[in-house]
Structure 1
Amino acid sequence: MTTIRYATRSGTARKVPLASRSGVFLVLLLFAIYTLIPPWWLLVSATKNKGYLFTTNGLWFSHFDLWANVRDVFHEEDGVFSRWIVNSVLYSVGGAAVGTLISAMAGYALAKYSFRGRDLIFDIVLGAVLIPASMFALPLYLMFSSLDLVNTYWAVFLPSIVSPFGVYLARIYAAAAVPYELIEAGRIDGAGEARIFWRIAMPVMSPAMVTIFLFQFVGIWNNYLLPVLMLSDNKLQPITVGLANWRAEFNNGVPYNVTITGAFLSVIPLVIAFLVLQRFWRSGLTAGSVK
């Protein structure tokens, strides 16, 4: 049987049968196809007008009308799509930025300070990571309703700045990447705890913070349940809820190709964020995995 050798960390070579490698490659290829077909269909469908959307091959281009579709998206319902994009950017960028900072501060404190109840707090954070976000929606609605914050930007923004997973990741990264010797050196130089965090710990934790920001940004951008529950004003809705409303209004005059093109446009910011932050994201995910 044909085998392939690869080097291990110890320097020894291990034999891997070619059939095993081919099987792994086949499985990965199937997963890649399964993952890429939906965005490919979305891209192809966004280039067709409503006359050719269902009458041509759904996985290949025909009668390229992407720019006309984009124009129709931004003109539908007096240009409300632009307002939805602005709302999504405000919720996602603002919530992810504040949430990343809070997560970094909390994770650093849990990793580098000893105080009563530290382990209990971290256990609660881990428990919150395991609870689906949808279970918090109704309690949050009741709480914000009592505070008269329902149907305001704050009803979506405030819950978005809390990230248990971000606190967990920041704590793990700070414990592995920020040495106590560096903190002690800052204290010897006369720096306070706040200055040590801002000037020493934060630059070291930047890969983890970028990773937290990316996860928060994607999670808030794709969030549907919270804004649809909190907001009734169409002008406050993010792009996810707006597109769902357009899909429901298909029989009331909103063309299907407009909804599809809007969905395609809503994916572009996520792709840009991944491409721009990919290097930091990968280094943050692998932090502490090898010592």
Structure 2
Amino acid sequence: MTAAPLTRRDSARTRAHTSAHTPARSGKRTRTPGTHPARTILVTGFLVVVALYFLVPVYWVIVAASKTSSDLFATPGLLFSGHVALWENITQVFSYGEGIFGRWLLNSLLYAGVGAIIATYFAAAGGYALAKYSFRGRDTIYATILGGVLVPGTATALPLFLLFSSIGLANTYWAVLLPSLVSPFGLFLCQVYARTTIDDALLEAARLDGAGELRIFHTVGLRILTPALVTVFLFQLVGIWNNYFLPLVMLSDEKLYPVTLGLQNWNSQITRLPEFYELTTAGVLLSIIPLAIAMVVLQRFWRGGLTEGSVK
């Protein structure tokens, strides 16, 4: 049996029914969510303000470090002077006081570098243990660590000084290095990251293959924790590098000073010797270079950790 052909009236009725259920097309192009012009301008303006907030002080330090003491006050603060004395100021910084600034810089590298590496390792080990092992007192230890996060470092400086003085470690490298080996925030961050990223099935598979717990931690745990470790390392590195109060309380020998305490020592002599303006500004510029290098070198691990596992 063959279907009867559609009449003209049926065809018109079909087109009307189709057009009634088909959304009308307009000449306007659909906009992607989140790309409203006003919102884009607002977000961009906010980011520009934030970038200026962080970059203008760095730019001022570069400009100030390239000026002599007279040009520092005779010329606009954000403009270079006619004579750029950056290299002369840097040379003077490293030659003043028999190269004491180089000693301060090496001290800061020792305190911050060694302290950040060991503190990151301890934080990773503690966080991994709290996240992947069940033992008595785990919640109590975790609560104690959270309490340690809330205690500022300045509150513990004086008790640490009294403790280190009683055991003969005050005014030594250990007085600044030992307190830097502990990072409650780093341990908390590693614990949270390990709990959410390290699969228990992966650890069980490693145990079935005959791997010990330390080997599993070093070969499996640390690799998965890399983004968190980089974060902890940078936080600890910056925190130790910029630490001023603890070395001020612990150290009296100028040769043990970190760069922050040494620059403050120079800055306190500006009223008596105006040439310390050049030394201080150039020293501040040199002191931020290691932190900038560390940030540029280690940021790729952040990107790798954020995108890991996104494509299968």
Q: TM-score, normalised by structure 1?
A: 0.91
How much is the aligned-residue C-alpha RMSD, in angstroms? 2.0
Is 1:267 the counterpart of 2:288 in the alignment? yes
- The one-letter amino acid paired with 2:279 is V
Alignment of 1:109-120 (within 5 A): 109-120=129-140
Distance 1:67 1:84, change over 3 A: same
1:3 to partner: Cα distance? 11
For the residue of structure 2 that corresponds to 1:250, the secondary structure is coil
For the residue of structure 1 that corresponds to 2:185, the secondary structure is helix
* Structure number with bigger Rg: 2
- The one-letter amino acid paired with 2:67 is K
For the residue of structure 2 that corresponds to 1:60, the secondary structure is coil
For the residue of structure 2 that corresponds to 1:145, the secondary structure is helix
Distance 1:285 1:227, change over 3 A: farther
> Deviation digits for residues 199-224 of structure 1, max 9, x if unmatched?
22112212211221111111100100
Is 1:135 the counterpart of 2:155 in the alignment? yes
- The one-letter amino acid paired with 1:275 is V
1:80 to partner: Cα distance? 0.3
Is 1:71 the counterpart of 2:91 in the alignment? yes
For the residue of structure 2 that corresponds to 1:251, the secondary structure is coil
1:154 alignment partner, one of 174, 183, 190: 174
2:70 alignment partner, one of 48, 51, 54: 51
Alignment of 1:215-234 (within 5 A): 215-234=235-254
1:180 alignment partner, one of 200, 204, 209: 200
Match for residue 276 of structure 1? 297
Q: Unmatched 5+ residue regions in structure 1?
A: 7-13
- The one-letter amino acid paired with 1:73 is V
1:4 to partner: Cα distance? 8.9
Q: Unmatched 5+ residue regions in structure 2?
A: 1-27
Is 1:208 the counterpart of 2:228 in the alignment? yes
For the residue of structure 2 that corresponds to 1:210, the secondary structure is helix
Percent of aligned pairs sharing the same letter:
51
Alignment of 1:6-155 (within 5 A): 6=32, 14=33, 17-62=36-81, 63-155=83-175
> Deviation digits for residues 152-175 of structure 1, max 9, x if unmatched?
000000000100111011111111
Distance 1:5 1:163, change over 3 A: farther
For the residue of structure 1 that corresponds to 2:70, the secondary structure is coil
Q: TM-score, normalised by structure 2?
A: 0.85
Distance 2:255 2:121 in 1: 28
> Deviation digits for residues 91-113 of structure 1, max 9, x if unmatched?
01100011011000000000000
> Deviation digits for residues 67-101 of structure 1, max 9, x if unmatched?
10000101111210000001000001100011011
2:263 alignment partner, one of 236, 240, 243: 243
- Check the 8 A contact 1:3/1:15 in 2, yes or no: no
Match for residue 199 of structure 1? 219
Aligned residues: 280
- The one-letter amino acid paired with 2:292 is V
- The one-letter amino acid paired with 1:127 is G
Distance 1:223 1:58 in 2: 27
Match for residue 10 of structure 1? none
For the residue of structure 1 that corresponds to 2:76, the secondary structure is coil
For the residue of structure 2 that corresponds to 1:59, the secondary structure is coil
> Deviation digits for residues 210-261 of structure 1, max 9, x if unmatched?
2211111111001000001100000000000000000001133352011000
